[in-house]
Structures are given as structure tokens and as C-alpha cells.
Amino acid sequence: MLTLGYYAIALQSEAVGASGAGLGGSVIEWVARSSPLSKTVLLILLLFSVASWAIALRKMWEYRRLERQTSSFLDVFRRSTKFSEVQSVCRSLIHSPLVGVFQAGYAELNAQLRQSGESAGATPSEGRPTLRSFEALDRALLRASAVEANKLEHRVHLLATTASITPFIGLFGTVMGIVDAFVGIAESGSTSLAVVAPGIGEALIATAAGLAAAIPAVYFYNHLTNKVKLYLSTMEDFSLEFLNISERNFT
């Protein structure tokens, strides 16, 4: 980071040696000279951008961890022969949504088996416990899936909001800036470019900032919702697999 800064400063000093003020300088000048309204607009856009990038980075990081843990959980799940073994590794893989689904299903299964064990305790003729309500297990898995889906999608909607709102905020800033510029023309009574250009240029910065905030947000929103869809189908698949195994073993 620091070296990057030095690089920028070195470039800048070299460029200043070559000629006069640069684009960056003029942009900063314009921003500094702009009205409080457009400064506010730029600040709001900056906040939106910071928040959306933070959410996107956080989610990307979360999803990467989630993928890693999911694949190792599935590995364990498919290799083990007992649900209790799988349950024991769940502690270390807490971030995978499949763990939530599995734990809910396992708890429901345990509860039903215990009940059936208690009622069938008098006649322990059958060697293996049986599942009383298959639908209840299904419902438990569904509930768990819903909870996990909510967790996955948490805050992703803010990216969509950023993507759709920030261009409009930027446009608003631009329109107000152009109104300002025209008022300036009316006051000075001159239509020369020198009077009009800075105002319009300054106003357009707001649109540029709005687009700069919106474009990454659109990209990340699409990327993340696509991932969420993928995880949802993985969870669905896992639920069915869990149901199949339960049916095979406990009926």
C-alpha cells in the first residue's frame, strides 16, 4: 500500500515537471468548489460504495469458507456409517449450511427414536428403532433449510439496493449541479464556455461517482445471488439424501 502511494507521488512529481495541473488536480478543485448539496451527494455515494464493497468482500470470504467446510462435511457424511460420527465433526464445520440442516434433522430423528424407544420399550421384539413420522423429519429439514437460506442471503439485498439507487443519486447531484451552472450563466450574463464548463464538469462528477458505486454492486449482487442459488440446491439435495438414508435405516 505504502509503495503504491510512493509510486503515485513519484508519478505525480514527474508529471508536474512535464506540464501544468492534471486531471486529478482539476477534479479535486471542482469537488472542493462544488456546492454543499453536491458534496453531500458525493458523501452519500461514498458511504453506499464503502458499505456495498464491505458486504461483498465479507460475503465472498464467508462463501469461500462455507464451500471449504461444506465439501469436507460432505466427505465425512458420505464416508461415515453412523450419524453420531457425523454429529461429532459438526462442531468444527459450523459455517456450512449443511451442518445446520443435518443437526436439525439429527435432533428430530433422535427425538422421534427416543419416543418410539420409550413406547416400544415394553416390547423390544424388534431389534431396530423405527421412525414414527417421516413427514415431521421432512418438515424439520425444510425449516433448517429456510433458516440457512436466510443466513446466506443476509445483507445481499443491500447490494441490489446500491446498484439501483446510486445512479439515481448521482444523477440527482448532476441535475442540481447543472441547475447551479445555469444560474451562474444567468448571473454573469455570459454564455462563454469558460463560465459553463466548470459547472457542468463538476456536476458530472456526481454521475460518475454514482456509476462507480453501482457497477461493482451489480456485479457482486449477481455473483452472490448465483452462489446462494447454488447453495440452496446443494441443501435441497442434502435434505433428500438425509431423508433417503433415514428411510432406509429407520423404517
CB atoms within 10 A of CB 8: 11
For residue 167, give the amino acid letter. Answer: P
For residue 238, give the amino acid letter. Answer: F
Is 143 one of the binding residues for other proteins (CB under 8 A)?
yes
Binding mask 17-56 for other proteins (x = CB under 8 A): -xxxxxxxx-xx-----------------x--xxx-xxx-
Considering only residues 94 to 123 of the shown chain, the ones binding other proteins according to CB under 8 A are 100, 103-104, 107-108, 110-111, 114
* CA-based max dimension of the chain: 103
Residues 100, 94: Cα–Cα separation, whole Å: 8
**Residue for cell digits 461517482?**
209
Is 2 one of the binding residues for other proteins (CB under 8 A)?
no
The candidate with the shortest Cα–Cα distance to 234, out of 81, 109, 77, 61, is: 77
Which of 5, 36, 124, 127 touches other proteins by CB under 8 A? 5
Residues 131, 117: Cα–Cα separation, whole Å: 10
Binding mask 169-208 for other proteins (x = CB under 8 A): ---------------------x-xxx--------------
Is 3 one of the binding residues for other proteins (CB under 8 A)?
no
Instruction: Provide the 3-class DSSP secondary structure of residue 248.
Output: helix
By CB under 8 A, the count of residues binding other proteins is 51
The candidate with the shortest Cα–Cα distance to 45, out of 190, 212, 227, is: 212
Closer CB to other proteins, 18 or 186, in the complex: 18
Q: How far is the CB of 167 from other proteins (least distance, A)?
A: 18
Asked whether the beta carbons of 93 and 66 are under 8 A apart, the reply is: no
Asked whether the beta carbons of 45 and 213 are under 8 A apart, the reply is: yes
Q: How far is the CB of 19 from other proteins (least distance, A)?
A: 6
Which of 33, 151, 157, 229 touches other proteins by CB under 8 A? 151
Which of 126, 150, 187, 226 touches other proteins by CB under 8 A? 150
**Residue for cell digits 454573469?**
188
For residue 249, give the amino acid letter. Answer: N
How far is Cα of residue 224 from the mean position of the Cα atoms in its chain? 6
Is 12 one of the binding residues for other proteins (CB under 8 A)?
yes
In the complex, the residues that contact other proteins under the rule CB under 8 A are 1, 4-5, 8-9, 11-12, 14-16, 18-25, 27-28, 46, 49-51, 53-55, 57-58, 61, 100, 103-104, 107-108, 110-111, 114, 140, 143-144, 147-148, 150-151, 154-155, 190, 192-194
